[in-house]
Amino acid sequence: MINLVRVKNPMPEQAPQTRIQNFEEVCQGYTEDMAVREAMRCLRCRTKPCMNKGCPTHVHIPDFIAKVAEGDFEAAYEIIRETSCLSPVCSRVCPHENQCEGSCVHGIKGQPVAIGSLERFVSDWHAAHHPEEIAEIVPTAPSGHKAAVIGAGPAGISCAGDLADKGVDVTVYETLDVAGGILTYGIPAFRLPKDIVEREIDKLKAKGVKFVTGSSVGKDCTIDDLMKKEGFESVFIGTGAEVPTSMHVPGEELPGVYTANDFLMKINVGKAYLPENEGLLPHADKIVIVGGGNVAMDAARCAIRMGASSVTIVYRRSREEMPACDAEINEAMAEQIAFHYLTNPVAIKAGPDGRVNKIECLRMELGEPDASGRRRPVPIEGSNFEMDVDCVVMAIGTKMDSAVTGTTPDLATDKYGCIVTDENAATSRPGIFAGGDDVTGPLTVVKAMKAGRTAAASMYAYMSGQ
């Protein structure tokens, strides 16, 4: 039976006035009854646009939703797992509005089916009903092949998991002291609880994957060292694009000015919000976040939870051009975070104590579209104004780190420093593969996951001499 209701079953969540006092997950998840009701909204479209057009990994969305509607939640999970190895993660952080739900036919005259919420329900239901799953994992019989993965983010752990399933001896090298990449240091716990990431890492360890953390390939060793000295037949580069970009405005170096990476790292990994870590991130009362992407939203929402009385997002274009997901923007607004559109910083200024205390901005107007397709922001001369601040967070994007590419001879890169690969994730160096943000520039977790899985299949074929 199909439910023709045109609006989604609302996701239970913490009230804004409550959630800004904690770092617990905002969305609480569907109950079984809610999930079944929502699943019954699916029209079972013959062309399956949500799967074929919207989902980068082509999860069999109508099939798993049909199983949810029947109440067979475990069968639904098995269908998702055929193509997605990180469903508890992707169901929480994917931009569903632009992918699967953005292609849902229901969205033409109403709200799309809440595909992300259903995937999350199925993944959480499976985890809750299989508490001993990790202890029951049996590693695949060794294939005799040995591979290295550089980077323990979504691309790297997806690649490592698929290789381990084929019996490959896999070692993952990670610069940070903890695995997970952006899933650990970048995405706050109120969007992606850290125990979910830890569970996925523990699954890989149970499969036999080894993690070497605190080790930077390109600085502590090179890819050639791994292949020639350590005997790895193939290497996957999944380091992401983690180097913050700069606006090059006066005052960016002042105390109290942070990159979003550093700010989020102190909160997500250092747990600066705990009383015992109080000195890790000095208290700030008036915080300005510069940028309009999901990272800017995450930083702003963390800032309000850290006790700031005023958090303002400054973005040089209008709301329509903002790249952040609608859900993140709406949740930030509900948390009383202010938005200053068509505003661009031109200087950051210090007070008598040498720390930041003002940010000077310029009003903008939109001109013709630029290469991104968005209208170009044009300064309005003489519109300068200042805001009082005691903390500024620059969330204006990231780029590829050259540590690996700069120490790997004959590894082709493009003009942006990204690694050049073919459709099978192969680089210009035999045996070396790459995928994720270090190839495409910053994109989404699900696309990084797909790239890692593509590379794993190609690496196994390479090592097997196929």
pLDDT digits (tens, 9 = 90+) for 173-208: 999 999 999 999 999 999 999 999 999 999 999 999
Instruction: Note the residue count of the chain.
Output: 466
Residues 206 and 94 both lie in one domain: no
Residue 304 domain-assigned (yes or no) = yes
Residue 347 domain-assigned (yes or no) = yes
Residues 313 and 363 both lie in one domain: yes
Beta pairing, strands 391-394 & 257-259? parallel
Among 436, 457, 418, 458, CA closest to 155: 436
Residue 303 domain-assigned (yes or no) = yes
Residues 250 and 380 both lie in one domain: yes
Residues 273 and 209 both lie in one domain: no
- Residues of the chain falling short of pLDDT 50: none
Q: Which of 350, 366, 396 is the last residue of a domain?
A: 396
DSSP 10-71: PPPB--HHHHTT--S-SB----HHHHHHHHTT----SS-HIIIII-TT---HHHHHHHHHHT
Q: Which of 98, 129, 160 is the last residue of a domain?
A: 129
Beta pairing, strands 375-379 & 385-388? unpaired
Q: Which of 103, 129, 155 is the last residue of a domain?
A: 129
Burial class from Cβ neighbours inside 10 Å (0-12, 13-18, 19+) for residue 206 reads middle
Cα three-residue angle 83-88-91, rounded to 5 degrees: 80
**Domain CATH number, residue 36:** 1.10.1060.10
What was the pLDDT predicted at 4?
Answer: 75
CB 434 within 8 A of CB 419: yes
CB 427 within 8 A of CB 433: yes
Residue 377 domain-assigned (yes or no) = yes
Residues 232 and 262 both lie in one domain: no
135 CA to centre of own chain: 28
pTM for this entry: 0.94
Residues 250 and 392 both lie in one domain: yes
CB 151 within 8 A of CB 174: yes
What was the pLDDT predicted at 370?
Answer: 83
Residues 110 and 205 both lie in one domain: no
**Domain CATH number, residue 283:** 3.50.50.60
Residues 156 and 265 both lie in one domain: no
Among 6, 105, 5, CA closest to 54: 105
Alpha-carbon span 266 to 274, nearest angstrom: 11
Q: What are the two backbone dihedrals, phi and then psi, of residue 243, each rounded to the nearest 5 degrees? A: -90, 120
Residue 10 domain-assigned (yes or no) = no
Residues 390 and 404 both lie in one domain: no
Q: Give start and end residues of each alpha helix (H) in 253-342.
A: 260-268, 294-305, 326-334
Q: How far apart are the first and last CA of the chain?
A: 48
Residues of the domain holding 371: 246-396
Q: What count of other Cβ atoms lies within 10 Å of the Cβ of residue 49? A: 18
Residues 254 and 381 both lie in one domain: yes
CB 349 within 8 A of CB 360: yes
Alpha-carbon span 162 to 203, nearest angstrom: 12
Residue 140 domain-assigned (yes or no) = no
Residue 422 domain-assigned (yes or no) = yes
Residues 251 and 302 both lie in one domain: yes
Residue 141 domain-assigned (yes or no) = no
Alpha-carbon span 181 to 432, nearest angstrom: 20
Alpha-carbon span 106 to 112, nearest angstrom: 5
The partner residues of 434 in beta bridges, in order of sequence, read 237
SS3 364: strand
What was the pLDDT predicted at 1?
Answer: 61
Residues 267 and 221 both lie in one domain: no
Domain count, the chain: 3
If phi > 0 it is left, if psi is from -120 to 50 it is alpha, else beta; for residue 251 that is: left
